[in-house]
Chains A and B, each alone.
Chain A
Amino acid sequence: MSTENLRTEFVSLVEKHQGIIYKVSRMYCDKEECRQDLFQDILLQLWQSFQSFKKQSKFSTWMYRVALNTAISQFRKKKNNTENLTPDIPINVPEEETYKEKEDRRELIHKAIGKLNKAEKAIIILYMDDYGYEEIAEITGISMSNVGVKISRIKTKLQKILKELEYGL
């Protein structure tokens, strides 16, 4: 396949699955500028790796793996990404939320996820994006039996962090 055709195929696939890059960028970067840069880096890394993509797994699975690896290696370089998070916002969840309240709630959840370590973030993002244990194991490289245990621990940890943030503990 010529480079031009390969690029066209790649761009079409990325257009379809770009939500993955947004999710990974959002999980690993709090600031908009950092998110934009990570988006760029993931995109370039995907393109550079695309020629060796054997199509043995789904494109989205492969894309998640590359995106998470890129984000984690960037995360190692600058550990202070999650600094300067937005100030604590105590949230009560009323029956009918206004737009502002919804936004605050989303922000709180992102902030809580931001407090997880890089490996926990990778697992929970895949779980919340409805990936099965087998795919999570394939992408993250941990054993399938371990995935369930880890998810359960992360869920508990995340809820604990959320409570702490909510009540300003």
Chain B
Amino acid sequence: MDFNDIKNTWKNSFEEEKLLNKNEIEARLKIKSRSGTALRKIKRNYKFELIFSSILSVIFIAWLFFNVTSPNKYMVIISAALFFGSLTFLCWSNYNKVKNTIITSDRLKPALLKTIKDVEWYVKFNKSNFTKFMLIPFALVFGLFLGFHVGLNTEDIRATIPYVDTKEVIKILSVVVIGSLIMIPLSQYFNKKMYKQHLDELKQCLKEFEEIEEANNND
């Protein structure tokens, strides 16, 4: 095979390539830049959450260290450190996932699919945690009742009932219920604002990208 044969065969191999029209070029351009923007915003929000939770953890643990005087001081601090540590770890893990996805996003579709999966998990996780707020009042009342029962040192649980201060229980319950009612929509609003809307944008980009791919395959 001489070089002219090679050259002609190579050139001819592109003749059957399906060329894009202006609209398709425009669409591809928009998808890439739109998904890039959504990914950047998600990354920024994860980073914000990570910094915020880290600062909050340090402040709270420091406050405990200087203000708690009970003999169980270090137990309380360790418990708080474990709780806030898990929270910060979750934020770090989320940020790390997205950060790596962006760096290695030299493949649009796999990068979109992976980011959608990761962010969707976190959005669902947040959503399920908000719904758990509904159970807090009941858990609190049960906890109070159990506290009374243990404190009275009686075997019959029904003996505890006359000692329960109904007014106090109602007060605590009201605060918790009102707090939950405010927290649920507020948290859902932030969940939507920080992640859900960008997740929807990524899903839309993926859908449009697949439509272009399908149209190309059909032609």
| A contacts, CB < 8 Å to B | 7, 11-12, 14-15, 18-19, 22-23, 26, 33-34, 36-37, 39-41, 43-44, 47, 74, 77-78, 93, 102, 105-106, 109-110, 113, 128-129, 155, 158-159, 162
Assembled-state Cα–Cα distance A50/B147 (Å): 71
Q: A19-B14, A26-B13 are in contact. List 16 more A-B contacts (CB 8 A).
A: A11-B22, A12-B22, A15-B25, A33-B109, A36-B109, A37-B106, A37-B107, A37-B109, A40-B32, A43-B28, A44-B32, A77-B106, A78-B106, A106-B12, A106-B13, A109-B10
B182 interfacial contact with A, CB 8 Å: no
CB under 8 Å from chain A, chain B span 1-37? 1, 3, 5-7, 9-14, 17, 19-22, 25-26, 28-29, 32-33
Neighbour of B107 across the interface among A34, A43, A47, A158, CB < 8 A: A34
Residue on A nearest B13 in the bound complex, by CB: A106
The distance from the CB of B193 to the nearest CB of chain A, in whole angstroms, is 27
Q: Which residues of A contact B32 (CB under 8 A)?
A: 40-41, 43-44
> Are A18 and B9 interface neighbours, CB within 8 A?
no
Q: Say yes or no: B19 contacts A19, CB within 8 Å.
A: yes
Instruction: State the Cβ distance, A74 to closest chain B Cβ, in Å.
Output: 6
Q: Does B108 contact A (CB under 8 A)?
A: yes
Do A43 and B21 have beta carbons less than 8 Å apart? no
Known: A15-B22, A106-B12, A109-B10. A41 touches B106 (CB 8 A): yes
Contact A40–B13 (Cβ < 8 Å): no
B108 touches A106 (CB 8 A): no
Bound together, the chains give a CA A18 to CA B28 distance in angstroms of 13
Residues of B at the A interface (CB closer than 8 Å) are 1, 3, 5-7, 9-14, 17, 19-22, 25-26, 28-29, 32-33, 106-109, 213
From residue B213, how far is it (CB to closest CB) to chain A in Å? 7
Q: Which residues of B contact A37 (CB under 8 A)?
A: 106-109
- Whether the Cβ atoms of A47 and B29 lie closer than 8 Å is yes
- 5 A-B pairs (CB sep. < 8 Å): A7-B26, A15-B25, A44-B32, A93-B1, A106-B9
A7, A34, A44, A155, most chain B CB atoms within 10 A: A44
Q: Specify which chain B residues have a CB less than 8 angstroms from the CB of A105 in the assembled complex.
A: 9
A43 adjacent to B29 (CB under 8 Å): yes
CA distance A12 to B22 in the complex (A): 7
CA distance A23 to B11 in the complex (A): 9
Query: How many angstroms from the CA of A41 to the CA of B35 in the assembled complex?
Result: 13
Cβ of B14: which chain A residues have Cβ within 8 Å of it?
19, 22-23, 26
Which residues does chain B contribute within 8 Å of A34, judged by CB atoms?
107
A7 to B23, CA, bound (A): 12
Residues on the B chain within 8 Å of A36, using CB? 108-109, 213
State whether B25 touches A43 (Cβ < 8 A). yes
Q: Are A18 and B19 in contact (CB under 8 A)?
A: yes
Min CB gap A66→B, angstroms: 14
The answer for the CA separation of A113 and B13 in the assembled complex, in Å, is: 13
